[in-house]
Structure 1
Amino acid sequence: MTDITPAWFEPEALAFRQRVLESIEGLSPLALVKRVEQLNHEQVTHLSQHCLNLYPGTNIMSPRVAALLSSTIATRASEGHPGAKYQTGLRWSEETEVVATELVRRLFDANYAEVRTMSGSMANMAVLNSLTEPGDVIFSLSTSVGGHISHQRVGAAGYRRLEIHTIPYDAQNWEIKLDELRREVKAHPPKLIIVGASLILFPYPVREIRAIADEVGAWLMYDAAHVAGLIAGGVWQHPLREGAHVMTASTYKSFGGPPGGIVVTDDPDIAHGVDRAIFPGMTANFHTNRLPALAVAAAEMLAFGQDYARACVDNAQALAAGFKEAGLTVAGERQGYTAGHMLALDVSAQGGGKTAVAALESAHIICNMNLLPWDPLRALHNPSGVRLAVHEVTRWGMGPQEMARIAQFFGQVLLEKRSVEEVRTEVMALKAQFDKVRYCFDRVTAQATSVSD
């Protein structure tokens, strides 16, 4: 078969693709199966056993959640509401759907919860489809200050054909400029204001923004993709209680569950609109295996979420202090570095984010390059920042002592230029001491496991 090269790929992506295609040339179907199984095994082993994974957009699932996610019910279409499905033979999955919805609703103290969305971006799209029409004005944070792409022209908001205005932001003080926002909102009355970001170090003034939204009759949505676990654990602002009309979130990341998204609200009209946007609007089969996994993840958050979230915040502060001691520049120092689980380093003096994350990856430390609020968009491919978070290493049972050691690794790689091979050996030795997922129910005995066990 002739290979049709996707010319829109980046040069490095094209080169990688070509190497892979050459490596599998001539392999039989069975040999390809074995190759894929090997790749999967090596990927799982690398990230779960050999690395310190500090990438904010991921987490490790508990054994029970992971086992449920592998269920063969993934292929069973389930259209409509539990108890009134279009398909038959699903009564056990329908009951699970009710349980999952109730646990999420209870966890976030909301009147309504939607659990069928298969990603955080899909959750955002469901809200946009429910509350806006093409041509409507919305306000959201820019990409430079952490605004998610689904809030931008290149993402869900753009595909909805919305007129997108940028929320004014003080980059040096890491805060929304409320007076300017009020002026802009009055000049360009929006249907919706969105707060929440992929780089989120500090809470937002939700009450004040809600007051501004009320002046023009706008809705307020809070994208809690990265902080859902902290909200569930009670260590972060509660968007609905502070005035947001609706909250979206990812079910992995700090939440520690399966892939997917959720929407929670106290407003029945918003809940009804989101329900219709999800089905029949956006999905038929929502991957039914996700819901038992989500139900267990939510139950684990109900049981252990407060301890887990507090440990994440404590570890983030310990890591920030360690970075400072190592001589690294931690963003947001005047504001206390972070109020949650995420941190940002300014590595402009070390060659920029692209260079830094490549060096760290060589030492088996995983994080990502990231724009900082003062970066121009043209710096996207080598921004001044590195973004990282502690929720996964916390779930492996690490504490402040390990955070100090991790900070030393960063300093050795980025400042001291110590042998990457030597650092990698020590990184793997540290990770090897933490091989059991904490803050969850034990898979075999159903007994709770926490760091103190």
Structure 2
Amino acid sequence: MSVTTERATDVLRAQDPQMADILDGERQRQATTLQLSAAENFTSPAVLAALGSPLANKYAEGYPGARHHGGCEYADLAERVAQERATALFGVEHANVQPHSGSSAVLAAYAALLRPGDTVLAMGLAYGGHLTHGSPANFSGRWFEFVGYGVDAESGLVDYEQVQQLARAHRPKAIVCGSISYPRHLEYSAFREIADEVGAYLIADAAHPIGLVAGGAAPSPVPYADVICATTHKVLRGPRGGMVLCGAEFAERVDRAVFPFTQGGAQMHTIAAKAVAFGEAAGPAFTRYAHKVVANARALAAALRAHGLAVTTGGTDTHLITADPAPLGVDGPAARGRLAAAGIVLDTCALPYGDQRGIRLGTAAVTTQGMGEPEMALIAELFAGALGGADAAGTRAAVAELTGRFPPYGA
């Protein structure tokens, strides 16, 4: 039976109404609440179409021209297009587009460059480091010896003198630059100098800023890092997945680390969707979008500060904002709960130099919806009201009115 994209929802409802109801509920949730998670975005309909394509049926272990399964001629074409578009978009010699997630990409980078027991210098988890940067609950903390660097207590900015001192003291095999909650641009050149001084590899975990890099709204780690790990969702607006970028000298090591060392068969429908997203990100419309994401984040950060939140580092250079809601009488988890009740969705995060958790939010999704700086001022007002004890139902109605004017997919 042939099923067109237009009929897919009807077919699902006829066959599995329970799941159809769940998916309808998620569509409604996304369309009527504010999506301020810094790690989320709305893909294009074209990306969604690729995700639901017949490539979802294809098993394709290996790489183009060297598969372990037959019938891969179109899978090979799709992956080669994704590779070519990624290398052109980021100005890099090699792209592995198979990692299933950002964490898978980091695992592959470590597998390509390190051996169990090696010392790695990365941002400490308390300052915004990711689980793959040394958490004892994660493979990284179990297989490698991690040393964590932090941020300046007053400015909240990376303390590059501390990074240098720790590198000299511990002589790591690799240095990781990247964070899940650092709102400022990293000085990749400074990390490169420190890595060269101690003979370490430099790994950039660019999961958050890579979309801004694609749009020319953030500095690129490519000229400085040996290996770059990234996600293809977030600001990049692709499907949920990962990728690894590197120079030609590390290409074979990276590819073998992805397959067969850390993963099996590639998710070919996701790779096709990544290719679509890379193609979209290469156009002038995406460049305008990336810069608007940053402008919106700066406007929202300033508005939140005006309403009394303690915004870390005083603002942002990126799509991402972190803040301490304590001046409004709540901690991060309580703030997330109150905001969720009001239809505002975001995350909690670690705050440097304190046990209390803060909040992390981003402007990628609302910018995709078409919102601009006037809407950022309104969001901050709704935000402060919800945290200040305003009626949650009234705030939620105001949120629904706002999102109704900016639907995710124009309908």
Q: TM-score range by the shorter chain?
A: over 0.9
Any residues of structure 2 matched to 1:19-418 within 5 Å, and which?
A: 33-47=16-30, 49-152=31-134, 153-159=136-142, 161-241=143-223, 243-266=224-247, 268-303=248-283, 304-333=285-314, 337-349=315-327, 350-376=329-355, 379=356, 383=357, 385-415=358-388, 417-418=389-390
1:229–1:305 CA contact under 8 A, matched in 2? no
Residues of 2 paired with 1:121 and 1:85: CA distance? 24
- 8 Å contact kept, 1:175–1:204: no
Return the letter of the residue paired with 1:280.
P
Q: How far 1:357 moved relative to its partner? A: 0.7
2:312 partner SS: coil
> Which deviates further from its counterpart, 86-95 or 419-428?
86-95
Give the whole-Å Cα distance in 1 for the aligned partners of 2:66 and 2:347: 44
Q: CA deviation at 1:322?
A: 1.7
2:398 aligns with: 426
Aligned residues of 2:42 and 2:408 also touching (Cα < 8 A): no
- CA shift, 1:298, in A, is 0.7
Which amino acid in structure 2 is aligned with residue 346 of structure 1? D
- 179-188 or 243-252: bigger deviation: 179-188
Aligned residues: 395
Judge conservation of contact 1:220–1:244 (CA < 8 Å) in 2. Answer: yes
What's the offset of the Cα at 1:344?
A: 1.4
Does the residue aligned with 1:240 lie in a helix, a strand or coil?
coil
Q: Cα deviations across residues 381-432 of structure 1 (Å, max 9, x unaligned)?
A: xx1x1110000000011101111110110111112x2111111001001101
* Cα distance in structure 2, aligned partners of 1:273 and 1:437: 40
Using the TM superposition, name which of 212-221 and 68-77 deviates more.
68-77
Q: Is the 8 A contact 1:246 1:265 kept in 2?
A: yes
Distance 1:73 1:194, change over 3 A: same
Give distance in 2, aligned partners of 1:31 and 1:102: 40
Gaps of 5+ in 1: 1-29, 439-453
Deviation at 1:125, TM superposition (A): 0.1
Give the structure-1-normalised TM-score: 0.84
Instruction: Decide whether aligned partners of structure 1 residues 239 and 437 sit closer, same or farther in structure 2, where only a CA change above 3 A counts.
Output: farther
Question: SS of the counterpart of 1:170?
Answer: coil
Partner Cα distance (2:198, 2:306) in 1: 48
Aligned residues of 2:122 and 2:148 also touching (Cα < 8 A): yes
Q: Which residue of 1 aligns with 2:4?
A: none
TM-score, normalised with respect to structure 2? 0.92
Looking at structure 1, the residues matched to 34 and 238 of structure 2 have their Cα atoms a distance apart, in angstroms, of 19
Alignment correspondent of 1:19: none
- Measure, in 2, the Cα distance between the counterparts of 1:374 and 1:114: 37
RMSD: 1.7
1:249-279 CA deviation, whole Å, 9 max, x = no partner? 110011110011011112x232211100111
Equivalents in 2 of 1:108, 1:320: separation in Å? 28
Q: Deviations over 1:135-166 (max 9, x none)?
A: 1100011111110001113223124x111111
Percent of residue pairs bearing the same amino acid type:
33
Q: Distance in 1 between matches of 2:74 and 2:145?
A: 44
The gaps in structure 2 that reach 5 residues or longer are 1-12
| Structure-1 separation of matches of 2:151 and 2:133 | 16
Following TM superposition, the consecutive aligned residue runs of length 4 or more in structure 1 with deviations greater than 6 angstroms are none
Question: After superposition, what is the alpha-carbon deviation per residue over 1:31-58, rounded to whole angstroms, capped at 9, x for unaligned?
Answer: 99432331222022211x1111000111
